[in-house]
Amino acid sequence: MVVRDSSSPVMGSIPVPDSDIGKHLGTLLDSTDGADVSFTIDGETFHAHRAVLAARSPVFKAELLGSMAEATMSSITLHDMTPATFRVMLRFMYTDALPELVDSPTVTIQGLLAAADRYALDRLKLLCAQKLWDNVSVDTVATILACAEMYSCLELKNKCIGFFAVEKNFKKAVLIEGFVKLVQQFPSIIVELREKAGP
C-alpha cells in the first residue's frame, strides 16, 4: 500500500547533482597524485596518468599501453606543440571541457586543432572547428579551410566550401592573400571549389 502525495512539500524527489567525473579527474590532474608518466616540452614538465590519457586518446593508448610502449618509459619529450597548448589539451583530456581560451600567440585554436588531430581527440577537434567557424568571414575563410584540410576536419571543410559557394562571398574571399596560400598548399582544393562553389 503506497501512500504518496506528490503535491505535498514533504514528498518530491531527492535531487542528484550533475556528473562530476570531469571535476574529479581535473582535481587528480592538479594534484598529480599517482602520476605515472611525464611530458617535457621546452623545459616545462607535465605529470599525468597513463590510464586517463589512454582512455581518451587512441594515440596515447598505443604509445603508453600498447606493445610498443616501454613499461619503464615514464618521461616523454614532445616537440610538436607549445607547453601552453599541451596544458590546454591535457586539461581537456581530464575534464572534457576547454578553459576560456585567450587566442594568444602561445595557444591558438589552430595549434589546439593540430594537437587534437595528432592525438585523435575527435571531440576537441570539433570544439576547435566550432570556434574557428564562429569567426569565419571572407577574410578568414581561406585560412580556416587550409586548417580544415591540414587537420582532416571534414565538418569544417564542408562548411568553408559552402561559404565560398555563396555568391556574395566568393569574389571577396578568393581575392584575399590567404586564398593564394591555400591553393599553393592544397592545389586539389581548386577542383573541389570548382565542383561545389564554381559557376
Identify which of residues 106 and 123 has a Cβ nearer to a second copy in the complex.
Answer: 123
Binding site for a second copy (CB under 8 A): 1-5, 8, 10-11, 13-17, 19-22, 24-25, 27-28, 33-34, 36, 49-52, 54-56, 61, 64-65, 95-97, 123, 126-127, 129-130, 133-134, 136-139, 155-156, 159, 162-163, 165-166, 168-169, 172
* Sign of the dihedral through C-alpha 18, 19, 25, 28: positive
Identify which of residues 57 and 82 has a Cβ nearer to a second copy in the complex.
Answer: 57
Least separation in angstroms between CB 14 and a second copy:
4
Cβ neighbours for 116, distance < 8 A, ≥ 6 positions apart: 89, 122, 124, 125, 128, 151
Residue 172 grid coordinates: 571577396
Least separation in angstroms between CB 37 and a second copy:
10
Which residue, chain included where needed, has cell 569544417? 156
Least separation in angstroms between CB 95 and a second copy:
8
DSSP code string of 28-80: HHHH-TT--EEEEETTEEEEE-HHHHHHH-HHHHHHHTSTTS-TT--EEE--S
Report the C-alpha gap between 118 and 60 in whole angstroms: 10
Identify which of residues 3 and 102 has a Cβ nearer to a second copy in the complex.
Answer: 3
Least separation in angstroms between CB 30 and a second copy:
11
Least separation in angstroms between CB 90 and a second copy:
14
